[in-house]
């Protein structure tokens, strides 16, 4: 699932845990103090033990010390947090994440929902290897190049496996309605759409938001004149299978529809950083009647947007209870091009409610399904707006 992320520059050797020399140790310890990671004796880290262990290895280990020992040590420290949203990113993995945040990467062309037990395809984009191979929404991926899902430690390892160099191949084994299928696909450059808009009849428009990436603001401003030109009075905003994105894009979009009030609340460990984000008062579409479409895969930034609209009485929600990701993460860049993603805060709805592991319950609950080629949730939204 895509993570809602604040990207920060962190050019210090804070999390380098292997002390290669005395000077490196001092630099590391200085960075450690800069983060003010103080604790009582029972919870503190004895840095001399780390230095001692490396010294033992360096002096006594008979084989060549692998260069990845540092990466694995950092990854192990973050992994020990047992937090699904906190992990180490190799230089390659971090590059791929940044490409995805920009809406482009080399891969297969589908969105997925990930847990350590399931890898479910939730969106397949046109003109991609996934669509051309015949992958479908609802397929469960069992193995990637014959490696079972249990063979991956976290989502980032799965993501790195799905992606790769242009024109390289991968075989996916899929469970489709209890039928096991194999697909061989070749990776290629993928451009993920940010959002799309189209006008229906009766002054109704449909805005589909795929991802809250950095391009969202520019893309929305491109389609905004069309909304006005079409004299749209009622708008369906489809957030189904939207896993989130970059912090700030969610409240930007909400600000286009909410004229006043709180849009989101951010809670940090350092309470002096905690804040409430309020509407600017410059909403272009404060009078549009809104219906939001959501499902179980609507998460993170998409949930922030949903809560901002709903708690400010600006729209009705139709669909399924959302995913329930009430935390946000920060990325800290390391000098070698790698990075660490950490959960650094909780967010609350405008009414001060945490939806973490709970989700947002819709006003009208409907299962997100296609019956006889009819999109049940979408059709209900159109019917509701036509009769209002």
Q: Which two tokens stand for residue 190?
A: 């993928």
pLDDT tops 50 at residue 378: yes
% of the chain beyond a pLDDT of 90: 65
% of the chain beyond a pLDDT of 70: 88
3-state secondary structure of 365: strand
Which position has the higher pLDDT, 40 or 380?
380
Task: Give pLDDT tens digits for 115-130.
Answer: 778 899 988 999 999 9
Q: For 306, list phi and psi in degrees, rounded to 5.
A: -60, -45
Angle of CA points 252, 253, 256, to nearest 5°: 95
**CB neighbours of residue 65 within 10 Å:** 13
- Average pLDDT value for the chain: 87
pLDDT band at 31 (very low <50, low <70, confident <90, very high): very low
The reported pLDDT for the residue numbered 104 is 77
CA distance 235 to 220: 14
State which CATH number among 3.40.50.300, 3.30.420.10, 2.30.42.10, 3.30.70.1340 fits the domain covering 104-191: 2.30.42.10
The reported pLDDT for the residue numbered 157 is 87
296: CB partners within 8 A, 6+ apart: 113, 320, 321, 322, 323, 359, 368
CA distance 108 to 44: 44
Which position has the higher pLDDT, 101 or 151?
151
Whether the model clears a pTM of 0.85, i.e. scores above it, the answer is no
Task: Give pLDDT tens digits for 175-185.
Answer: 999 999 999 99
- For domain 195-387, the CATH class is alpha beta
pLDDT tops 60 at residue 230: yes
Contact between residue 233 and residue 288 where contact means Cβ atoms under 8 Å apart: yes
Helix (H) or strand (E) holding 348: strand 339-348
CA distance 259 to 312: 9
The reported pLDDT for the residue numbered 250 is 97
Task: Give pLDDT tens digits for 253-307.
Answer: 999 999 999 999 999 999 999 999 999 999 999 999 999 999 999 999 999 999 9
pLDDT band at 388 (very low <50, low <70, confident <90, very high): confident
24: CB partners within 8 A, 6+ apart: 13, 16
Domain positions in the chain are 5-83, 104-191, 195-387
Contact between residue 240 and residue 319 where contact means Cβ atoms under 8 Å apart: yes
The reported pLDDT for the residue numbered 42 is 44
Domain pair 104-191 / 195-387, same fold: no
């Amino acid at each position: 699932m895509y993570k809602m992320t604040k990207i920060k520059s962190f050019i210090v050797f804070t999390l380098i845990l292997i002390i290669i020399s005395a000077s490196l140790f001092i630099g590391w310890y200085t960075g450690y103090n800069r983060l003010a990671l103080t604790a009582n004796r029972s919870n503190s880290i004895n840095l001399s033990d780390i230095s001692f262990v490396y010294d033992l290895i360096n002096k006594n280990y008979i084989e060549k010390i692998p260069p990845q020992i540092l990466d694995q040590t950092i990854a192990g420290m973050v992994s020990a947090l047992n937090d699904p949203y906190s992990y180490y990113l190799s230089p390659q993995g971090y590059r791929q994440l940044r490409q995805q945040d920009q809406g482009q990467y080399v891969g297969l062309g589908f969105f997925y929902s990930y847990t350590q037990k399931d890898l479910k395809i939730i969106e397949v984009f046109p003109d991609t290897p996934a669509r051309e191979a015949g992958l479908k929404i609802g397929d469960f991926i069992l193995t990637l190049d014959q490696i079972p899902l249990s063979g991956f430690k976290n989502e980032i390892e799965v993501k790195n496996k799905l992606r790769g160099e242009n024109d390289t191949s991968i075989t996916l084994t899929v469970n489709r309605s209890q039928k096991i299928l194999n697909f061989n696909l070749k990776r290629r450059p993928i451009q993920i759409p940010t959002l799309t808009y189209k006008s229906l009849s009766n002054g109704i428009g449909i805005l589909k938001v795929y991802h809250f990436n950095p391009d969202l603001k520019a893309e929305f401003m491109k389609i905004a004149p069309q909304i006005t030109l079409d004299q749209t009075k009622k708008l369906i905003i489809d957030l189904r299978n939207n896993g989130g994105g970059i912090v700030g894009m969610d409240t930007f979009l909400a600000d286009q529809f909410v004229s006043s009030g709180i849009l989101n609340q951010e809670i940090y460990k350092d309470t002096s950083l905690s804040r409430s984000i309020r509407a600017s008062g410059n909403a272009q579409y404060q009078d549009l009647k809104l219906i939001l479409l959501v499902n179980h895969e609507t998460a993170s930034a998409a949930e922030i947007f949903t809560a901002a609209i709903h708690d400010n009485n600006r729209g009705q929600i139709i669909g399924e209870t959302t995913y329930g990701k009430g935390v946000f993460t920060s990325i800290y860049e390391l000098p070698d091009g790698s990075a660490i993603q950490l959960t650094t805060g909780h967010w609350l709805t405008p009414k001060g409610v945490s939806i973490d592991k709970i989700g947002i319950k819709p006003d009208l609950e409907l299962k997100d399904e296609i019956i006889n080629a009819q999109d049940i949730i979408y059709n209900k939204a159109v019917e509701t707006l036509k009769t209002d």
